[in-house]
């Protein structure tokens, strides 16, 4: 524990937070001191360079359970992606069954490398990077809005129905909202760790950070990307709640945000009645209503409500039964379930591996969430705690919501399943975030295996 | 403060993650249990239902044989249907062009049409159905040569052939594009003929193409059962031939029916109706007149007219048409009277030319306005006397009449194994008034089908038993074993043997000397009754047109042991075009005669001639060709035949030809013309004159002055006139040729009865 305090003090960038961290560290001392002391004697290297982990000792100080959970989920995810995309890829990519797994595999390799690299990158540096990252994310989101919704430049921001979620920059295509979630986590973690004492106040504790959340959520709303908005909003509110913002402040601001949202839609409506009317109808009104109706009546939807995807998903899940039809044996992936490699990949997991396989995956996610939380709560400072919790919550919320959608527990909305769904950049970002979590674990007060 | 913050974060974080994991995933678990375990089987069934596609493997349809069991009337043969899978072709224009160019000549199709089809967005599009194996091989060869692996497929299929063309078409029916029976026996026996299609169950993806699963299941097809009919192709052809002849001769406007039934079993040995069609090509209208009429119509009316013409030529008039049997029914009324004992053979009645029905303003007339005078029961029938029948009807009373009418099967469909049997229109016991009874007694105002009539006549003939009319004798399994034989036991006895015999005797006399003499066939003891039914309902629609008739003749033979009943029925003979012939005796009688004369020997009914008949019987010309003239003449003398010689009569000259030829029929006292060397062509031939309407004396005279001989059929009474001649007037034949003439009396034995 002595070593820990020493390291903190030496960190020039964190001088202002050292007091709080120390205080927290002290509170842990009685339980962990002896073990840590024993460990530290056996690892003289870390004593010399306590903050920067050397590249050639990547594993050092890593939380092995977390690392194992990540790698197992990634491995299972890749296997299932291969299985789920096999047929779809064959038909859609001109007979190439390996198209999706090849690309996803390459991103996974690069992602794991990045994760390990980032795990050696002291997360405290994100204090300085928080606002720059946030600004970049906001700019990218703005670009999607400008090119997608205002200028309709398909080559840069291709539209999918009413929504424009993607940004195309040369060969790379990614969803800025994925980056924005991370940016929001970092900026909120930074902000909260900077204002721990003032979080109970309204302006500092609620209004200012909510504006940050609102900026991101608002831009995602403008993309007409409802599920993204939902996740960002939920994530932001939960982080603030954890960070100490008063619940009543959140409620007040939530109501204001709701009114604002309606006002924005109203203004759009007034500015360009036709287009906006349609947009409100489709993006916020009728379209969402259809989803609710489709959720309630997946098999006998009223005229005009398309429930093909959720219906096929339930067929897949049901076909699996207790033990599943066997890996690779799904029939539903043969073009019945649309894009089985994306949001509905879990249905193929259920079909091929059955209830047992689905439970194994759910348990893996639960373990990851639990471990992420555990590490975060044992991080050596508030920034680490908030950063870790944000990342863990993001993964947890997405996993729970995705599986809820796939099993028709909640209405259909486009949320991908972390580690499973196809998507290069989002996998990279996810593994990068896991890298940060691992980095937090290196310095956290966690019993290591 | 700080410590508090940390602990609060910890608590909140644990709560949130706990909620996320236990509540979030808990809900998921509930859903999973619901969908995977509780409703899992249902979901799986639905998934399988959409992804398992079963391809039908057609069963071969059963064969239809005629009564001989050897002649095939309908048969299926293996063919191929060519199917395009345009989605394998439609993104390659050069390939599409190549396929279209290559297949067009092989399939005899338009290149552009094939090109268009290859551009469709689908995996299944019929290119050409039912091509022969050699065409499929040619297509296959083209595909192999050009290395086209997907996009064109062959499906095994069957095509229905009817080797005898139009023969029995209205009985057989025809099949549709999926080999399903659409009419006639093909429809009625669909479940027997069709067989059980096999199935190949395979997994398909959402695009309908194969999935790499081993879920395939093969169930072989079971071929259909075959039918052996009671209809004999030979008899059937004879029936059709003579119907066509009658239609042409008597200018019949609305088709015709001939039904021949085995009286003891109800087996129909021939059932011909006109118009008919070729079941190989049922959508071609065979009647040239109808076709011309359709052509003349404005464009927008043609489709409806064509459809009408189809239904008309597909219609089986024998079971689907109803008519008033007219005087033919008098045999039934007569039988009722004898059976009930209200009259005896000795009963008499005086016909004054009409019968006063209670409540009618004036008497209902007899066809013979001046009246028949005093007639006994037999005379009432063979004179076809209406008042006698009305009198008899009044003796029977409504209840008894209706009881027998039901018993003879006139009020219920016969249940014959053919589709589309008509329902009867009649006055039932409660509503039948005195006038209705009187009119029905001589066969008017009672709608029945021709099959019902011939079935009832069979009951008169066979000793009083109502039989079940049928056209299928037995059903065979694909291996030829008999699955089912039709039960030919009579349904019920309607009249006694004595009544049957008595009526038969009257009808026999009738055919020889009475009003039905037009149906007489020497040696075959015909019993018959004519009928001329007025189409009152039609006339009531438009009284400005003349009354139309249905001329019918119903009889059976041989009278001493009846075997076959025959009903011949012409719908609307055009009296204004054919010289005023509309009556059953003149129109249907001669055709009845011809059919009986030709079919009875074939069916093995032995001819037995009276002495008188024997005298007039034709004999067969001996072979005298290739022998010296003297020998030929000697041979003819010995046979009791005259001779004449055309050409050299020098000693030892060889006979080079003879007319009639060896084996041909000629009158017993006829002449054989012998041709020797050097005869003149013009001297040797002559034109056939028109014998129509001549009596026997004048016909003989006309024949002799033209160097021809005649052979006499039909009515042997002085008032009979020529109705038919077997060689048309104007044709050139060799001198000495025997012309067969059919005589009948032109009497129209019906009364105009304008009753509702």
**Complete DSSP assignment for A175-208:** -HHHHHHHHHHHHHHHHHHHSGGGTTSHIIIIIH
Environment class of B745 (CB within 10 Å of its CB; exposed 0-12, middle 13-18, buried 19+): buried
For position B460, what pLDDT does the model report? 93
Interface contact flag, A336 B50, Cβ < 8 Å: yes
Q: Which residues of A touch B50 (CB under 8 A)?
A: 315, 336
- Listed as ranges, residues in chain B with pLDDT below 50 are 1-2, 751-756
Crossing angle of helices A345-377/B25-32, nearest 10°? 160
> Does the CB of A245 have a partner CB in chain B at under 8 Å?
no
**Domain range annotation of chain B:** 54-225, 319-612, 619-744
Q: Which residues of B touch A (CB under 8 A)?
A: 1-3, 5-6, 8-10, 12-14, 16-17, 20-21, 24-25, 27-33, 35-37, 39-44, 46-48, 50-51, 203, 205-207, 211, 213
Chain A residues in contact with B40 (beta carbon < 8 A): 318-322
> Would you say residue A185 has pLDDT above 70?
yes
Query: What is the phi-psi region of residue B373: left when phi exceeds 0, alpha when psi lies from -120 to 50, beta otherwise?
Result: left
B627 vs B629: CA distance, rounded Å: 6
Measure the CA–CA gap between A64 and A18, rounded to whole angstroms: 27
CB contact residues (below 8 A), chain A span 94-153, against chain B: none
**Which of A5-14, A210-219, B455-464 has maximum average pLDDT?**
B455-464
Q: Which helix (H) or strand (E) holds B217?
A: strand B217-219
Query: Per-residue b/e over B448-460, b at no fewer than 16 CB within 10 Å?
Result: bbbbbbbbbbbbb
Which contiguous run of DSSP H or E holds residue B212? none
Band (pLDDT 50/70/90 cuts) for residue A263 is confident
With the C-alpha atoms ordered A161, A165, A166, A167, is the resulting torsion angle positive or negative? positive
- Positions of B marked active-site: 327
- A chain contacts of residue B24, beta-carbon cutoff 8 Å: 396, 400-401, 404
A 184-203 residues inside an 8 A Cβ radius of B: 196-197, 199
In chain A, residues with a C-beta closer than 8 Å to the C-beta of B6 are 24, 27, 382, 385
Question: What's CA B703's distance to the chain center, in Å?
Answer: 37
List all residues 6 or more positions away from B193 whose beta carbon is below 8 Å from its beta carbon.
Answer: B61, B62, B64, B181, B185, B186, B224, B225, B226, B227
Per the prediction, chain A carries an average pLDDT of: 81
Nearest chain A residue to B47 by CA distance is A315
Confidence at residue B369, expressed as pLDDT on a 0 to 100 scale: 80
The Cα B395–Cα B400 span in angstroms is: 9
Task: Using an 8 Å CB-CB cutoff, list chain B residues near A197.
Answer: 1
- Comparing CA positions, the residue from B565, B554, B454, B559 lying closest to residue B500 is B559
* Dihedral in degrees, nearest 10, Cα atoms A390, A391, A392, A397: 80
Taking CB atoms and an 8 Å cutoff, what residues of chain A touch B37?
321-322, 355
Q: What is the mean pLDDT of residues A401-423?
A: 91
Whether residue A354 lies within 8 A of chain B, CB to CB, comes out as: yes
Work out the widest C-alpha separation in chain A, in whole angstroms: 72
Decide if A108 contacts A425 (C-beta within 8 A): no
What span, in angstroms and rounded, lies between the C-alpha atoms of B503 and B392? Answer: 15
Max CA pair span of chain B? 159
Which letter, b or e, does each residue of B621-650 get, where b requires 16 or more Cβ atoms within 10 Å of its Cβ?
bbebeeeebeebbebbeebebebebbbeee
| CB nearest to A23's CB, from B2, B39, B48 | B2
Segment A122-143, tens digit of pLDDT:
899 999 999 999 999 999 998 8
Pick the more confident residue, A385 or A162.
Answer: A385
The shortest C-alpha distance from A313 to chain B (Å) reads 10
Of A238, A318, A409, the CB nearest to B39: A318
**Exposure of B558 by Cβ count < 10 A (0-12 exposed, 13-18 middle, 19+ buried)?**
buried
Q: How many CB atoms lie within 10 A of CB B150?
A: 11
Percent of chain A with pLDDT strictly greater than 70: 80
Fold annotation for B54-225: Penicillin-binding protein 2a (Domain 2) (3.90.1310)
CA dist., res. B741 & res. B713, Å (int): 6
End-to-end CA distance of chain A: give it in Å, rounded. Answer: 18
Residues of A in contact with B51 (CB under 8 A): 331-332, 334, 336
- Check whether A6 has a pLDDT greater than 80: no
The topology under which CATH files domain B619-744 is Trypsin Inhibitor V; Chain A (3.30.10)
Copy the structure tokens of residue A173: 């295509």
A80-110 pLDDT, tens digit per residue, is: 999 999 888 888 887 788 999 999 999 999 9
Instruction: Give the residue among A315, A356, A421 at the shortest CA–CA distance from A101.
Output: A421
Q: DSSP class of residue B188? A: H
Confidence (pLDDT) at A52? 57
What is the rounded distance in angstroms from the CA atom of residue A314 to the CA atom of residue A312? 5
B6·A27 Cβ contact <8 A: yes
A382: nearest CA partner in chain B: B6
CB proximity A24 to B under 8 Å: yes
Q: Which of B25, B44, B211 is nearest residue A362 as measured by Cβ atoms?
A: B25
Contact yes or no for A315/B43 (Cβ under 8 A): yes
CA distance A220 to chain B (A): 24
Cβ pair B10, A358 in contact under 8 A:
no
From the CA of A116, how many Å to the nearest CA of chain B?
25
State which residue of chain B sits closest to A370, comparing Cα positions: B17
Q: What is the pLDDT of residue A268?
A: 61
What letters, b where the CB count within 10 A reaches 16 and e where it falls short, cover B697-719? Answer: eebbebbeebbbbbbbbbbbbee
Is residue B158 within 8 Å of B16, Cβ to Cβ? Answer: no
CA geometry: angle at B327 spanning B587 and B713, to 5°?
A: 35
| Chain A stretch 294-323, residues whose beta carbon is closer than 8 A to a beta carbon of chain B | 314-322
Q: What is the pLDDT of residue A114?
A: 94
Chain B's closest residue to A239, CA to CA, is: B13
Q: Which of B12, B28, B37 to mutate to test the interface with A (most CBs of A within 10 A)?
A: B28
Report helix, strand or coil for B679. coil
Q: Beta B671-675 vs B642-646: how paired, if at all? A: parallel
Q: In chain B, helix, strand, coil percent, each to 5?
A: 40, 25, 40
Structure tokens at B164: 């005898």
Q: Is A438's Cβ below 8 Å from some Cβ in B? A: no
pLDDT-derived band at A287 (thresholds 50, 70, 90) equals low
Strand, coil or helix: B116: helix
- B10: distance to nearest CA of chain A, Å? 6
Q: Which of A238, A370, A404 sits opposite B27 (nearest CB)?
A: A404
Mean pLDDT across A64-90: 93
Phi/psi at A287 (5° precision): -60, -45
What's the half-sphere exposure (Cβ side, CA atoms, 13 Å) at A199? Answer: 28
Given CB atoms, is A331 within the 8 Å cutoff of chain B? Answer: yes
How near does any CA of chain B get to the CA of A271, in Å?
41
Choose the closest CB to B206 out of A335, A358, A393: A335
* A332 touching chain B per CB within 8 A: yes
> Are residues B50 and A315, on separate chains, in Cβ contact within 8 Å?
yes
Q: Return the pLDDT at B747.
A: 67
Beta bridge pairs of residue B733: B686
Q: Domain spanning B319-612: which CATH class is it, in words?
A: alpha beta
Partners of residue A194 in chain B, C-beta under 8 Å: none
**For residue B23, what are the contacts with CB-CB under 8 A and spacing of at least 6?**
none
Q: State how far residue A246 is from chain B, nearest Cα, in angstroms.
A: 12
CA dihedral (B162, B168, B172, B176) positive or negative: positive
B512-533, pLDDT tens digit by residue?
888 887 778 888 889 999 888 8
In this predicted structure, the answer to whether residue A23 has a pLDDT above a threshold of 50 is no
Three-state DSSP class for B107? helix
């Amino acid at each position: 524990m002595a070593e820990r305090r020493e390291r903190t003090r030496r960190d020039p960038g964190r001088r202002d937070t050292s007091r709080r961290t120390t205080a927290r560290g002290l509170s842990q001392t009685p339980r962990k001191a002896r073990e840590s002391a024993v460990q530290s004697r056996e690892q003289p290297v870390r004593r010399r360079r306590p903050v920067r982990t050397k590249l050639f000792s990547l594993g050092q100080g890593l939380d092995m359970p977390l690392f194992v959970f990540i790698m197992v989920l990634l491995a299972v995810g890749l296997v299932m992606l291969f299985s789920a995309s096999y047929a779809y890829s064959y038909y859609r990519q001109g007979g190439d069954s390996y198209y999706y797994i090849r690309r996803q595999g390459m991103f996974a390799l690069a992602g794991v490398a990045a994760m390990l690299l980032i795990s050696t990158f002291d997360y405290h540096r994100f204090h300085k990077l928080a606002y720059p990252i946030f600004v970049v994310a906001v700019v990218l989101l703005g670009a999607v809005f400008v090119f997608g919704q205002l200028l309709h430049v398909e080559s840069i921001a291709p539209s999918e129905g009413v929504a424009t979620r993607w940004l195309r920059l040369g060969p790379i295509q990614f969803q800025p909202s994925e980056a924005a979630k991370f940016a929001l986590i970092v900026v909120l973690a930074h902000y909260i760790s900077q204002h721990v004492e003032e979080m109970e106040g309204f302006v500092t504790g609620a209004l200012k950070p909510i504006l940050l959340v609102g900026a991101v959520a608002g831009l995602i709303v403008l993309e007409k990307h409802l599920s993204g908005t939902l996740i960002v909003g939920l994530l932001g509110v939960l982080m603030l709640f954890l960070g100490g913002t008063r619940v009543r402040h959140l409620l007040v601001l939530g109501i204001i945000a709701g009114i604002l949202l309606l006002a924005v839609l109203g203004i759009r409506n007034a500015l360009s009645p036709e287009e906006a009317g349609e947009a409100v109808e489709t993006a916020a009104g009728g379209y969402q209503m259809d989803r609710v109706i489709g959720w309630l009546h997946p098999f006998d939807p009223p005229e005009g409500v398309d429930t093909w995807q959720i219906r096929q998903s339930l067929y897949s899940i049901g076909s699996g039964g207790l033990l599943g039809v066997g890996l690779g044996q799904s029939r539903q992936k043969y073009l019945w379930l649309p894009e089985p490699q994306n949001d509905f990949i879990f249905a193929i997991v259920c079909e091929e591996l059955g209830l047992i396989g689905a439970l194994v995956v759910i348990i893996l996610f639960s373990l990851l969430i639990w471990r992420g939380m555990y590490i975060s709560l044992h991080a050596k400072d508030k920034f680490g705690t908030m950063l870790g919790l944000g990342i863990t919550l993001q993964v947890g919320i997405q996993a729970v919501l995705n599986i809820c959608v796939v099993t028709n527990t909640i209405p259909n909305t486009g949320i991908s399943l972390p580690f499973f769904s196809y998507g290069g950049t989002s996998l990279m970002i996810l593994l990068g975030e896991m890298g940060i979590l691992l980095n937090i674990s290196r310095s956290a007060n966690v019993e290591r295996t | 403060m700080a410590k508090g913050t940390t602990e609060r974060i910890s608590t909140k974080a644990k709560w949130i993650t706990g909620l996320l994991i236990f509540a979030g995933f808990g809900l998921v678990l509930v859903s999973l249990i619901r969908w995977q375990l509780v409703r899992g089987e249902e979901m799986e069934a639905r998934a399988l239902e959409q992804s398992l596609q079963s391809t039908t493997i057609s069963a071969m349809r059963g064969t239809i044989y005629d009564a001989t069991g050897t002649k095939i009337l309908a048969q299926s043969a293996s063919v191929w249907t060519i199917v395009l899978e345009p989605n394998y072709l439609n993104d390659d224009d050069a390939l599409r062009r190549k396929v279209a160019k290559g297949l067009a000549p092989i399939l005899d199709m338009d290149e552009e049409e094939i090109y268009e089809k290859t551009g469709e967005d689908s995996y299944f599009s019929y290119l050409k159905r039912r091509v022969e194996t050699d065409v499929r091989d040619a297509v296959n060869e083209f595909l192999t040569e050009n290395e086209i692996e997907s996009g064109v497929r062959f499906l095994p299929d069957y095509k229905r052939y009817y080797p005898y063309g139009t023969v029995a078409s209205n009985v057989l029916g025809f099949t549709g594009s999926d080999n399903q029976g659409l009419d006639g026996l093909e429809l009625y026996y669909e479940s027997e003929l069709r067989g059980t299609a096999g199935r190949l169950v395979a997994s398909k993806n959402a695009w309908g193409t194969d999935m790499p699963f081993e879920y395939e299941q093969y169930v072989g097809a079971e071929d259909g059962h075959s039918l052996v009919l009671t209809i004999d192709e030979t008899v059937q052809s004879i029936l059709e031939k003579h119907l066509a002849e009658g239609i042409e001769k008597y200018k019949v406007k609305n088709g015709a029916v001939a039904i021949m039934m085995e009286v003891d079993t109800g087996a129909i040995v021939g059932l011909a109706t006109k118009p008919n069609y070729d079941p190989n090509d049922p959508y071609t209208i065979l009647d040239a007149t109808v076709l011309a009429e359709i052509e003349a119509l404005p464009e927008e009316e043609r489709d409806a007219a064509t459809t009408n013409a189809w239904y008309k030529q597909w219609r089986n008039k024998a079971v689907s048409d109803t008519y008033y049997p007219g005087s033919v029914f008098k045999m039934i009324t007569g039988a009722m009277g004898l059976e009930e004992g209200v009259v005896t053979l000795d009963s008499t009645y005086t016909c004054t030319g009409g019968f006063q029905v209670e409540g009618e303003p004036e008497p209902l007339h007899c066809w013979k306005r001046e009246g028949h005078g005093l007639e006994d029961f037999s005379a009432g029938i063979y004179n076809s006397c209406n008042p006698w029948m009305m009198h008899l009807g009044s003796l029977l009373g409504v209840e008894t009449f209706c009881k027998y009418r039901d018993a003879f099967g006139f009020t219920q469909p016969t249940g014959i194994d053919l589709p589309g049997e008509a329902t009867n229109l009649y006055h039932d016991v409660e509503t039948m008034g005195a006038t209705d009874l009187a009119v029905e007694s001589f066969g008017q105002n009672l709608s029945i089908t021709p099959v019902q009539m011939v079935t009832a006549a069979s009951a008169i003939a066979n000793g009083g038993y109502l039989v079940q009319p049928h056209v299928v004798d037995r059903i065979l399994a694909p291996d030829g074993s008999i699955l089912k034989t039709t039960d030919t036991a009579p349904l019920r006895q309607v009249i006694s043997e004595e009544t049957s015999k008595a009526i038969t005797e009257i009808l026999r006399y009738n055919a020889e000397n009475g009003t039905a003499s037009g149906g007489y066939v020497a040696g075959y003891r015909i019993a018959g009754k004519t009928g001329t039914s007025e189409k009152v309902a039609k006339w009531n629609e438009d009284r400005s047109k003349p009354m139309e008739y249905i001329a019918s003749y119903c009889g059976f033979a041989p009278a001493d042991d009846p075997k076959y009943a025959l009903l011949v029925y012409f719908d609307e003979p055009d009296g204004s075009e054919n010289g005023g012939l509309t009556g059953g005796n003149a129109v249907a009688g001669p055709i009845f005669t011809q059919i009986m004369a030709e079919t009875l020997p074939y069916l093995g009914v032995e001819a037995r001639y009276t002495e008188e008949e024997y005298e007039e019987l034709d004999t067969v010309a001996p072979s005298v060709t290739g022998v010296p003239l003297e020998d030929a003449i000697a041979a003819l003398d010995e046979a009791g035949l005259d001779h004449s010689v055309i050409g050299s009569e020098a000693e030892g000259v060889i006979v080079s030809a003879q007319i009639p030829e060896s084996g041909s029929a000629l009158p017993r006292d006829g002449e054989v013309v012998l041709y020797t060397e050097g005869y003149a062509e013009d001297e040797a031939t002559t034109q056939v004159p028109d014998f129509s309407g001549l009596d026997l004396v004048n016909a003989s005279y006309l024949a002799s002055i033209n160097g021809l001989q005649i052979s006499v059929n039909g009515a042997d009474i002085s008032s009979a006139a020529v109705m038919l001649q077997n060689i048309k007037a104007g044709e050139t034949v060799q001198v000495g040729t025997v012309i067969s003439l059919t005589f009948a009396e032109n009497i129209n034995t019906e009364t105009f009865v304008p009753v509702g």
